[in-house]
């Protein structure tokens, strides 16, 4: 009797877990996976769950019709998508191979003639803003000579310009343009030139940061769990309204879950990059990104230590790298999304928790090369605050029964924590994503030191995780979509960072002040 009840309870838990996993995603994404696999009938069935008023529903129906080589039906769905508000730029972006038959039709030529001035498809997206330079990422409609021009904040005086670069099909028509010779802590405006002509767009703005090592005041937003939910895409405007100096995307930034199919990967990236809310945010806010399971592989994936196995790893990484604008990627010999950067005297250290994750032998999340880099970077850090970012949480018991967060790699976690304590690396706290809520927790150590962890990963997801009451829980929030905001002030005698949990509607639901003296080793 007891065993039967246990098995029934286990069945319910598994059903809920399966339902939860599916709830994160959307039928258009799921149907695209079936289209990519040539399972067109299954795509039809999945699209029956989708809202017919949503232009993305007809976009995917178009892809499915193209897969069946039904060009007439594909054109009908393309028109239906545009009638429901899909911008022509979505069709112009592609995926190009899938849409190639459509572009041979007279109907397409008529559409294209109406949009001859459409040359910039995605971006601009800012990245790696330093005290004297800025990187700008773009994707063009066709191979083009691209350039960025930076102006003074309050007039049309040209301050500097990037070198001219050519976007090519090999790079999916993307490029990163670097503008140098800028002044620290100075606001600027900028625009993009394609083939010598200014792109029709409102001038975007940005502000350079304080030189490395310089005390300053600034704010950084972060989060993960950014499933595509059209009615919640206004989250990006909510973040922009807080005027962050940087945005950290900590994983599950787009939900792909299809590492072997470029069609699905491109679809998921392109639809987010076309959102006007997203464009407003990243066009004015330097953006840094690491991935997690849903935008690298599949749920809770453990890809193993090899660079080239499974074979999809290098290709997925290549796609990730050309859709973001990080300052660096991994090491010269090993790909990965780990890197670091400074804003004033605050050091941000971003970790790759997927590419080299391995459970055989001595389990590792980072792999030996990245772990060695991490120890070297920590020991040589000049930051007063050091922000160590992971795609998954550090706290013990944060996902009960799961080995996907750092609980699955306790020995490596202990190596890192012990290294920090032994070397008295002061001013360090942890940030993470993955759990669909916003939490603040403290892990107390025998040494008396407390590792503070700020976690947030429900930017736009439908699915929510309950707040797990671990030892050291300060607060947790999961009622609405939310993001984390860190307000740094290192100009005072005891530097301080203010942690805030802010909802999609701009409500500050929790806050906590952390002083440098509180995370200094005795």
CA dist 377 and 375 (Å) reads 5
Domain 120-207 listed as CATH 1.10.260.40: no
Contact indicator for 131, 210 with CB cutoff of 8 Å: yes
**The tokens of 87 are what?**
């911008």
Residue environment code for 155-190, b if the CB has 16+ CB neighbours within 10 A, otherwise e:
eeeebbbbeebebeeeebbbbbbebeebeeeeebbb
Please report, rounded to a whole number, the percentage of residues in the chain having pLDDT higher than 70: 95
CA dist 162 and 293 (Å) reads 35
CA 229, 511, 485, 522 torsion: positive or negative?
negative
CA dist 275 and 494 (Å) reads 41
CA dist 406 and 85 (Å) reads 43
CB neighbour list of residue 160: distance below 8 Å, 6 or more residues apart:
150, 179, 180, 181, 182
Q: Shortest CA distance to 252 belongs to which of 505, 57, 29? A: 29
- Upper half-sphere CA count for residue 324 (Cβ side, 13 Å): 27
pLDDT value of residue 24? 59
Question: CA dist 178 to 133, 151, 279, 366, Å?
Answer: 7, 14, 19, 30
CA dist 348 and 287 (Å) reads 13
Contact indicator for 219, 244 with CB cutoff of 8 Å: yes
* Strands 197-198, 187-194: pairing kind: antiparallel
Mean pLDDT by 10 residues, the chain (522 residues): 37 36 75 98 97 97 98 98 96 96 96 94 97 98 98 96 97 98 98 96 93 97 97 98 98 97 98 97 98 97 97 98 97 95 98 97 96 98 98 96 97 98 98 98 95 98 95 97 98 98 98 98 90
Q: Tell me: the pLDDT tens digits for 114-166?
A: 999 999 999 999 999 999 999 999 999 999 999 999 999 999 999 999 999 99
CA dist 437 and 253 (Å) reads 15
CATH domain 218-495 topology: Purple Acid Phosphatase; chain A, domain 2 (3.60.21)
Q: How far apart are the first and last CA of the chain?
A: 56
Contact indicator for 127, 350 with CB cutoff of 8 Å: no
CA 136, 200, 277, 155 torsion: positive or negative?
positive
Q: Is 249 helix (H, G, I), strand (E, B) or coil?
A: strand
Q: Which single residue is written with the structure tokens 């984390």? A: 484
Q: Which single residue is written with the structure tokens 């399971």? A: 293
CA dist 439 and 246 (Å) reads 20
Q: Tell me: the pLDDT tens digits for 234-249?
A: 999 999 999 999 999 9
**The tokens of 77 are what?**
């769905």
Q: Which single residue is written with the structure tokens 């950084």? A: 220
pTM above 0.75, yes or no: yes
Domain ranges of the chain: 20-113, 120-207, 218-495
Contact indicator for 460, 235 with CB cutoff of 8 Å: yes
pLDDT value of residue 20? 40
């Amino acid at each position: 009797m007891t065993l039967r009840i246990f098995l029934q309870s286990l069945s319910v838990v598994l059903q809920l877990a399966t339902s939860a996993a599916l709830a994160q995603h959307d039928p258009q994404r799921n149907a695209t996976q079936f289209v990519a696999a040539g399972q067109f009938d299954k795509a039809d069935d999945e699209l029956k769950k989708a809202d017919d008023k949503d232009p993305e529903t007809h976009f995917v129906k178009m892809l499915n019709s193209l897969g069946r080589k039904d060009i007439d039906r594909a054109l009908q769905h393309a028109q239906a998508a545009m009638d429901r508000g899909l911008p022509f730029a979505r069709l112009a972006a592609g995926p190009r191979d899938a849409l190639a038959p459509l572009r041979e039709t007279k109907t397409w030529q008529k559409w294209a003639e109406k949009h001859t001035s459409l040359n910039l498809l995605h971006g601009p997206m800012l990245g790696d803003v330093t005290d004297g330079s800025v990187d700008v990422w773009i994707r063009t409609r066709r191979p083009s000579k691209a350039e960025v021009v930076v102006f003074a904040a309050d007039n049309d005086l040209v301050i500097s310009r990037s070198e001219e670069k050519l976007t090519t099909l090999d790079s999916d028509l993307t490029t990163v343009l670097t503008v140098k010779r800028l002044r620290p802590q100075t606001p600027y405006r900028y625009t993009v030139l394609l083939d010598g002509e200014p792109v029709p767009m409102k001038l975007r703005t940005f502000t350079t940061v304080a030189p490395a090592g310089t005390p300053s005041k600034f704010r950084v937003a972060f989060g993960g769990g950014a499933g595509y939910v059209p009615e919640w895409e206004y989250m990006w405007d909510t973040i922009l309204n807080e005027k962050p100096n940087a945005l950290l995307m900590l994983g599950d930034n787009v939900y792909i879950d299809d590492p072997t199919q470029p069609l699905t990967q491109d679809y998921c990236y392109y639809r987010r990059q076309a959102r006007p809310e997203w464009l407003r945010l990243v066009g004015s806010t330097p953006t840094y990104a690491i991935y997690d399971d849903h935008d690298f592989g599949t749920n809770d994936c453990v890809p193993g230590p090899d660079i080239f196995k499974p074979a999809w790893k290098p290709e997925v990484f290549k796609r990730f790298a050309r859709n973001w604008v990080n300052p660096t990627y991994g090491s010269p010999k090993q790909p990965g999304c780990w890197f670091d950067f400074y804003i004033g005297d605050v050091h941000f250290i971003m970790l790759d928790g997927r590419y080299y994750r391995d459970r055989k032998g001595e389990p590792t999340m980072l792999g030996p090369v990245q772990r060695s880099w991490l120890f070297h970077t920590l020991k040589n850090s000049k930051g007063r605050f050091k922000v160590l970012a992971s795609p998954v949480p550090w706290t013990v018991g944060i996902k009960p029964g799961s080995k996907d967060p750092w609980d699955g790699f306790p020995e490596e976690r202990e190596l890192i924590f012990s290294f920090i304590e032994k070397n008295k690396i002061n001013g360090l706290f942890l940030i993470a994503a993955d759990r669909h809520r916003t939490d603040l927790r403290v892990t107390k150590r025998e040494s008396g030191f407390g590792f503070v962890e700020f976690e947030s990963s429900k930017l736009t997801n439908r699915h929510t995780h309950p707040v797990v009451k671990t030892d050291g829980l300060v607060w947790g929030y999961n009622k609405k979509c939310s993001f984390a905001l860190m307000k740094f002030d290192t100009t005072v005698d005891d530097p301080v960072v203010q942690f805030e949990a802010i909802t999609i509607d701009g409500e500050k639901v929790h806050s906590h002040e952390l002083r440098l003296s509180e995370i200094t080793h005795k």
